[in-house]
Amino acid sequence: MNLVVGSGPSGVAAALALLERGGEVTMLDYGRTIESEFAAIPRALAGLPYEAWPASQREKLAALAGGNENGFPMKTRFGSDFARRTIDLMPLEARGADVLQSLARGGLSNLWGANVVPFSDDDLRGWPLDAAALAPGYRAALAHVPLAAEPGDDLAETMPLYTDRLEPRPLSAQATQVLRDLSARCHAVAARGLRFAPSRLAFRTSPTKDDPGCVQCGFCLHGCPLDLIWNASHTLAHLERNPRFRYLDGHYVTRFIERGDRVEVHAVRAADRAPARFEADRLFLGCGAFSTARLLLESLDRYDVDVTMLESQYFLVPLLLWRSFAGAPEERLTTLSQLCLRLSDPEVCPRDVHLLLYTYNPFYRERIRRTPLRLFPALERELLGRIVSLQGYLHSDVSPRLSLRLRRNPQGPATLVVEGRENPETGPTLRRVGARLRRLAGVLRASPIPFLTRIGLPGKSYHAGGAVPMRRDPGARESDLLGRPMGLARVHLIDSSVFPTIPATNITLTLMANAHRIAAASAALDARSGKNAALFAS
């Protein structure tokens, strides 16, 4: 029997691979779900055509906001922070770092931006495997994850779609115009190192017999009222229909012990804090980079040992479109990422820079109405028709580091101390990216707004990992190609903990592909000798 810890994207991908190969899987999870009063908001709209949504419910959705954290809006799901709330068994001390963990059913896929892009071979430079090794995992993941994308887009040569099952990809009027402007100047754009395409998103837009599909209500960032944005809990529901799968929620895993050909797992029951124990042939840890690091350090008694975690620096660049779109606030649209831009120029950054264009969404209006501009309705409306933003990410080579250390606490559970560490390459790289965006203003038909670029704290990208990087010949504090930390044979790390680098590209799809690859290869191992490991891991 296999134990999988965590119900996020990596956990469900690993479980899929094990079940596809005839294995038995028990998934241990805390499994927190949204509170009934918040879940009632989308339920009130279920089955109603968009035109029949009560104005009071639309106003309630539009008013949902999660406040601000370190100067950035904090994302919630229909106003609930259930997906990011932790418990006293996992004390955390963050110093100059932004750390996000989840105990929710489906993990952080309850809050994600739904961008699904595979890693290119250049992204995988420095890894012990290439895109071909991940291709089966990409295809397996996309058999369960809907993909709204344009076939044969500008990124497809280096970042294939890995599926023919595509959903229609709606774009806002602003994004349509930016895409048209870029396409009209494609040679000039390419000469400046920029590739572009509609963002590839994990959401279903087409109708079914049960719902109308995406109605472009504009509330994507508040939580999709029709639940069309893929969440790992969707795949978990599919897994629960398999008789060889068992889901045990209400458990917080505290430690594991590998004993010969078995792994013993210790947990605490959420309901009464009673201890619980489980045994398995193999253990797959997909708790999220920080929680997996905590569990590994605790289980191996590695207290007060500094561990380095990598991350992708996050930054936000507001832009002012040269053309106004007066109807943007009333437009029927989606508010997820609209366009994906890839900046590939070693003069700017030695590794690709990943940029996501977001056009109008209700948060813009909310922010403007906190300023004196609310006193000038005509100016406010003009700005709302022009403001868009680029969310950017850098490769971990030029991004800050995170230092992790588990500190004993005689009064209770150990504290995970996370400290941000600057990288001297980050600032100069960001300045070069900003300069390139200013030079691209003519083709984007949009100019960066001076002095409004925001740079996230280390960890803010929520694309972090690499605490136990995969190597073909692993040493101390590293793992093999099956995600097994040095010295362990039956414990597999399946989340970003094993990524050797953190490319600028959004990581979720590769997280799933690699977890599927690890689980599939482990299922092929001989239970005693582990023969054929190299064959299936390479």
Q: What is the 3-state secondary structure (H, E, C) of 332-373?
A: CECCCCCEEEEECCCCCCCCCEEEEEECCCHHHHHHHCCCHH
pLDDT at position 221, please? 86
Cα 8 from Cα 507, distance rounded (Å)? 13
Q: What is the pLDDT of residues 147-202, one digit of tens each?
A: 999 998 999 999 999 999 999 999 999 999 999 999 999 999 999 999 999 999 99
Out of 305-314, 356-365, 419-428, 440-449, which region has the weakest mean confidence (pLDDT)?
A: 356-365
Looking at residue 536, its pLDDT comes to 31
Q: Are 181 and 444 in contact, with CB atoms under 8 Å apart?
A: yes
- Pick the closest to residue 522 from 236, 281, 291 (CA basis): 281
Q: Calculate the CA dihedral of residues 274, 278, 283, 288 and round it to 10 degrees.
A: -10
Q: Spell out the residues 6+ positions from residue 274 whose beta carbon is closer than 8 angstroms to its own.
A: 268
Domains of the chain (ranges; CATH) run 1-32+100-145+230-311+461-538 (3.50.50.60), 35-79+155-225+314-393+423-457 (no CATH)
DSSP state of 414: P
Determine the pLDDT at residue 531: 38
Q: Kindly report, residue by residue over 333-365, the tens digit of the pLDDT.
A: 999 999 999 999 999 999 999 999 999 988 787
Between CA 219 and CA 234 the distance in angstroms is: 20
pTM comes to 0.94
- Tens of pLDDT, residue by residue over 73-110, are 667 888 899 999 999 999 999 999 999 999 999 999 99
Low-confidence winner among 294-298, 305-309, 371-375, 482-486 (lowest mean pLDDT): 371-375
In this structure, what DSSP letter does residue 110 have? G
Among 273-287, 426-440, 476-490, 522-536, whose mean pLDDT is lowest? 522-536
Contact at 8 Å (CB) between 312 and 399? Answer: yes
Q: What whole-number percentage of the chain has pLDDT above 70?
A: 96
pLDDT of residue 111: 93
Quickly count: other Cβ atoms within 10 Å of residue 206's Cβ.
14
Q: What is the pLDDT of residue 245?
A: 98
For residue 533, what pLDDT is reported? 37
Which pLDDT does position 528 carry in this prediction? Answer: 42
- Distance CA(534)–CA(538), nearest Å, equals 6
